[in-house]
Amino acid sequence: MFFIVMEVLIIVLITVSVTLLQTLIQKKLMDVNLVKTLKAEMKKTNQDIKNLSKEMKNTKEGEAPSTEKLNKLMSKTVDIQKKMMGQTMKPMMISSLVVLVVLYIIPKFFSGAVLNLPFSIPFVGNQIGWLGIFIFTSIISGLVFRKIFDVGM
């Protein structure tokens, strides 16, 4: 019993460490302010597209809809998405390599780690293996670290 609890705690500590490393990589390699600006610009452009679409629906049959303006807004959206993807891709690739290495190593040492829950989760049951512990801990610690380091996208 004690050994299983220690295995679970070690998996949690490894996961928190990996998630912290992921967040620090993101913070270092990504211009957070640029991404936030791009997101705000994307939101405004999407709202403009929505408004223009409503206007186009309300045009009478004799009037020509302004498809040229809609095409410009759509190309602006694509440009913004390219910039955002350029900012997020490099940190994601480096972080993925770290996670893959950890996901390869953990089952070698902790394949028997099982966390018994006092309740049942749909499609999972009341036991979570090492992968479930890793995923759950990663999600929670990722949310916390993104808030702490102001990386939240």
Tens-digit pLDDT profile for residues 72-131:
999 999 999 999 999 989 999 999 999 999 999 999 998 888 888 889 989 888 999 999
Tally the domains of the chain. Answer: 1
Banded pLDDT at 1 (limits 50, 70, 90):
low
Tens-digit pLDDT profile for residues 96-106:
999 999 999 99
Which structure tokens are listed for 132? 């479930």
Residue 23 CA to residue 91 CA, distance in Å, equals 9
Q: Which domain holds residue 104?
A: 2-148
| Rounded percentage of the chain residues whose pLDDT exceeds 70 | 93
Contact yes or no for 134/106 (Cβ under 8 A)? yes
Instruction: For residue 7, give Cα distances in angstroms to 102, 110, 125, 128.
Output: 15, 6, 20, 13
* Residue 5 pLDDT > 90: no
Write down the residue that tokens 């009037």 correspond to: 63
Please report the pLDDT score of residue 59 as a whole number: 72
Please report the pLDDT score of residue 62 as a whole number: 55
The DSSP output letter for 120 is E
Look at residue 70 and tell me if it is in a domain.
yes
How many helices and strands, by DSSP H and E, does the chain display?
4, 2
Residue 7 CA to residue 134 CA, distance in Å, equals 12
Write down the residue that tokens 């440009």 correspond to: 79
Look at residue 128 and tell me if it is in a domain.
yes
Please give the mean pLDDT across all residues of the chain.
89
Residue 111: in which H helix or E strand, if any? none
Residue 118: in which H helix or E strand, if any? strand 115-121
* Residue 58 pLDDT > 80: no
Residue 105 CA to residue 102 CA, distance in Å, equals 5
Task: Give me the sign of the Cα torsion angle 25, 29, 33, 37.
Answer: negative
Look at residue 153 and tell me if it is in a domain.
no
Look at residue 25 and tell me if it is in a domain.
yes
Look at residue 51 and tell me if it is in a domain.
yes
